[in-house]
Structure formats: structure tokens, C-alpha cells
Amino acid sequence: MNTPAEKNHNPSPEHNHEKCVSKAIGTAEHLCVVRGVQLTPIRHQVLELIWENHKAVKAYELLDRIKPVMDAAKPATIYRALDFLIEQGLIHRIESLNAFVGCNCSGHQHEQLLLICKQCNEVEERPATEVMQALSLEFDQAGFVVHSKALEIHGICVKCIGLNDKQN
């Protein structure tokens, strides 16, 4: 496979991804202890796979990737782990892609604006405070009581624009 999404495999040098991972896993472990829920080996495994990079990843991709380690894995295995991680706010489900991505705001305000790059498939999470405020006003005006939000934007991220420009 060599789709556009697979290009740019190496993160930019100034991005220390090991740090991202250790922070995310550390936070997850801590939160689960605090909350008295179990970050079991399967759940831990899935969370690590999701955090291999900042790209949106599909459930069945995760299944394929976990099989070498856990031969018994079935769809339900993955979906159950994903459900748990979503409940605990450790990952986001991207509705418009049927895909998942690690959340790096875990524990704080969780419904962020997701900027999803069509070219590198990376997802940037943004608090977008002004947007959220404008949304609140809108809900008040409409008399609408919010339970959950999916705010997903598709386009080209700043890194890919830079790369594209260089190529010309």
C-alpha cells in the first residue's frame, strides 16, 4: 500500500513522538487507577497501537496489527477495547472516517475541534475556545440541549501544505 496517507512517514525532527506516547500512556494509566477502572493488557495494547502515530486508524487495521501479538483477537476484542478507551476519554472516534485517534486532552474538556488532513491522515485536536463559545450561544438561541458534539474538519494540514509547496 502506498496511498498519500502513507507518505510523510517520518515525523518532523522537532517532534519527539516518544514523548507524546509516554505522556499519553502515562496519563491513561494514572487516570485509570484514579477512576478505579482497569487498563487491562488488551486495552493497553490497543491504546499503544493507536498512539503509534497521530493518524486516524481504523478498527480492522488495529485488529490486523494486534493479531501477531494476540492471535485470538476478533472484531469484538477491538471494539470492546475501543469502547472502553472512548468512555474513558482516552481516544476520539472520528465519525466521518469510522476511525480512531489518540486524545491528548485526556481528562480535561474532551469535545474538541478535529482538523483531519486528507493527505497525511494526521489529526490535530484544538480546543477552539471561541468556536465553542459561539456554539454555546447558538444552542441557547435554538433552545437545544447538547449531549455530544462531532466537530470534524477535513482538509490539508499546515505541514502538508509546506511539503507540497516545496515540491513546486
Partner DNA sequence: AAAGCTAATTTTATATTATTACATTCATTG
Partner DNA sequence: CAATGAATGTAATAATATAAAATTAGCTTT
Q: Which residues contact Zn ion by CB under 5 A?
A: 17, 20, 117, 119-120, 157, 160
Q: Which of residues 109-148 bind a copy of itself (CB under 8 A)?
A: 113, 115, 117-118, 124, 126, 128, 130-131, 133-135, 137-139, 142-148
Pick from 4, 26, 41, 155 the residue near DNA by CB under 7 A: 41
Using CB under 7 A, which of the segments 2-10, 49-57, 71-79, 149-157 binds DNA?
Answer: 71-79
Nearer to a copy of itself, 44 or 58 (CB): 58
114-147: buried (b, 16+ CB within 10 Å) or exposed (e) per residue?
bbbbebbbbbbbeebeeeeeebeeeeeeeeeeee
Return the number of the residue (38 or 133) whose C-beta is nearest DNA: 38
Q: Of these partners, a copy of itself, DNA, Zn ion, none, which one is at the site of residue 69 (CB under 5 to 8 Å by kind)? A: none
Separation of alpha carbons 59 and 80, rounded Å: 11
Residue from 76, 73, 17 nearest 48 by CA: 17
Total length of the chain: 168
**What is the smallest separation between the CB atom of 49 and DNA, expressed in angstroms?**
14
Indicate left, alpha or beta for 143 from its phi (over 0: left) and psi (-120 to 50: alpha): left
Binders of a copy of itself in range 38-67 (CB under 8 A): none
Evaluate whether 155 touches 117 at the Cβ level (below 8 Å): yes
